[in-house]
A and B are shown apart, each in its own frame.
Chain A
Amino acid sequence: MATAASVPVCTITIEQPDEASTRLSLSGRLESGNAARVIEDVLSRLATHPPLRLDVNLERIHYFDDYGSLVLQEIRHFVESRKAAFQLINVPEHVESILSLVDFHHQDYLPTNSKKKPISIFVRMGEAVIIQLDTFKYMTSFLGSVSICLVHGVLHPRSIRWGDTIVYMQKTGVDAVPIVALISFLLGLIMAFVSSMQLEQFGAGIYVASLVALSMVSEFGPIITAIIVAGRSGSAYAAEIGTMQISEEIDALFTMGFQPTLFLAIPRLIAAVIVVPVLTLFSDVFAILGGLVVSSTMLDLTVGTYITQTLEALTLFELMWGLMKSAVFAVLIALVGCLRGFQVRGGASEVGNAATSAVVSSIFLIILFDSIFAVIRSYW
């Protein structure tokens, strides 16, 4: 320990025996602890007297590691980039062995090759298009494989992993009930509150009930539930499958003769399609309850009239329409989540990106499909 003092010492001397040449002598320790300082020191001193030829004398170096050879490289680069000659003299054996280990004599490790050429905009546009096409191709083949697996599942119901399906139904559905109920209740509360302020002015407070019921059952119930499920479970699907992808678990499944889509995606898909409409039903009920609380406290509506009015406004068609939409949203969420998971390549951050992208894409698709449904209904 005595030699490895806390500040390793390297003595630098620069002499100029004649006009043409300069001699730099390094002695002591040249190592990771002082390399940065020595580089700075030597280069600033050489900059004031640029040499025509530099001899680096290493005779009195008694400890040298690869950081030391970094020092020599930096000096060599400095000297040679000024068209001067560089030479090592009196190289001790232990220094020589390190230098050959890092291939000092044959390489300058010039970071030039790493400099990227500016890429023309057309190349970049082309690349972007190719990437998009690739994604599209992958998506199509994924959808195809899901369809095949579904058909296969219908023909051979035993090939579907029902145990996993039930686990996902619990994770996606049962575990989400409290948050869906709370958010929907508050949403119903807010809707009733805002609409009652307007409708009261016309003495039409009774229509608060219809408004809450109709808008929840046909629009907000399915959407809010789908968004919550996308955030909770779509991201989880992507992260789970993505992690399996990067740790080669999916490859392992494949080689064991399992179809990864059938094994991983189908149970999630089935689970989502079953539980999301049920969650939507919960959402509708709790929102109506929220509306009921506001109406019966702030308006002069009795619980009875509120419920009668709600039932009058709702039709079975509305309810089924909403549930049908939520089933479609469930398909979107499960497919996007699994697709993003399967697309993961590389490392941990890719898993994070997949989860983020799963949520963003599903929410976008949910809104997009909801608009499509609205258009369909208006031309019904």
Chain B
Amino acid sequence: MNNAKSDIEPLIMVRQLTSEYGDQVILDKVSFDVHKGEILVILGGSGCGKTTLLRHMVGLNKTHKGSIHIEGHDICNGDDSIYQAALKKIGILFQNGALLGSMTVSENVALPIIENARLSKQALKRLVRMKLTMVGLGEYGHYLPSELSGGMRKRAALARALALNPEILFLDEPSAGLDPITSAEIDDLILMINRNIGTTMVIVTHELASIFALAKRVIMLDKSVKGIIADGEPHHLKQHSDNPLVRQFFNRESRNQAI
């Protein structure tokens, strides 16, 4: 299926991934690819395992049932050095931001940069300020995360995820809980970064507006099959999907049967 699409190897290759918490199976034999430079949106109802899938893709949840290759290296079954090397290529925006509460916003953003780039103090300050300007928080560097609003915390966390200009950025609900304007601004920022820096994005989101603005391709998960029920272009799926659940999602209709 992926051979037809392009001759180059996909950036991320998920094969037969099975995920379980205890004996509760969340995902059952899920396979898909993420190609270089694309924005892939993962969507689905609450509790269908989107965050779980994302955690597997960044290696926080581990399993040997199935494989995940990033640039051809298997992070599920390979040894730790492979995983460490893969970590250098990815940035993650957690669902709750996960900023370190005892550090200011600037220090949070500076943290990965200090670890990985040899910059002078002054250059570091400039870079951090620049990253914060990108997400619209230029003036808030000296604030503690607890002194920010929820949306600002999200944006600060996005700045930290972008700190090293990772090749792949995983975003877990980047615009959940934000007002439509801020949310649209974050979408613009994501598109901008994708277009200019070439970052591959894997985004979990529910926001229909964001999905249509961002995604060339979406993957929809569902509890009933514990896996993917649709894979394709959102406008196309909205009109022509043969699965009523998918059409309902895109058209914002309620479903009448129980979950």
Contact = CB atoms under 8 A, between A and B. Distances in A.
B201 to A, nearest CB: 15
A48 interface: no
A337 B28 CA distance: 47
Contacts of B102: 346-350
A348 B101 contact: yes
Nearest to A2: B8
B144 interface: yes
Contacts of B142: 114
A35 to B, nearest CB: 7
Interface string A10-36: 000000000000000000000110011
Contacts, number: 91
Interface in B113-162: 117-120, 122-123, 125-127, 129-131, 133-134, 138, 142, 144-146
Nearest to B129: A109
Interface stretch (A66-74, A231-239, A277-285, A315-323): A66-74
A246 B125 contact: no
Given A36-B118, A347-B145, A114 B133 contact: no
B100 A348 contact: yes
Interface string A170-209: 0000000000000000000000000000000000000000
Contacts of B224: none
A4 B11 CA distance: 13
Interface string A114-134: 100000000000000000000
Nearest to B198: A63
B71 interface: yes
Nearest to A1: B71
**Could you say which interface size class chain B belongs to?**
20 to 34
B114 to A, nearest CB: 12
A154 interface: no
B196 interface: yes
Contacts of B100: 347-348
Given A1-B71, A32-B165, A346-B144, A67 B127 contact: yes
A70 B126 contact: yes
Interface in A23-80: 31-32, 35-36, 39, 63-67, 69-70, 73-74, 77
Contacts of B225: none
Interface residues of A, number: 34
Contacts of A114: 125, 142
Interface in B37-84: 71
A101 interface: yes
A156 B123 CA distance: 63
B205 to A, nearest CB: 22
A74 B122 CA distance: 9
Contact of B125 (A66, A111, A349): A111
Contacts of A101: 134, 189, 192, 196
26 contacts: A1-B8, A31-B165, A32-B165, A35-B117, A39-B123, A65-B196, A66-B131, A66-B134, A66-B165, A66-B197, A97-B192, A98-B196, A98-B197, A109-B130, A111-B125, A111-B126, A246-B146, A346-B102, A347-B100, A347-B102, A347-B103, A347-B144, A347-B145, A349-B101, A349-B102, A350-B102
Interface of A: 1, 4, 31-32, 35-36, 39, 63-67, 69-70, 73-74, 77, 94, 97-98, 101-103, 107, 109, 111, 114, 246, 345-350
Closest 3 CB pairs of A and B: A347-B101, A349-B102, A347-B102
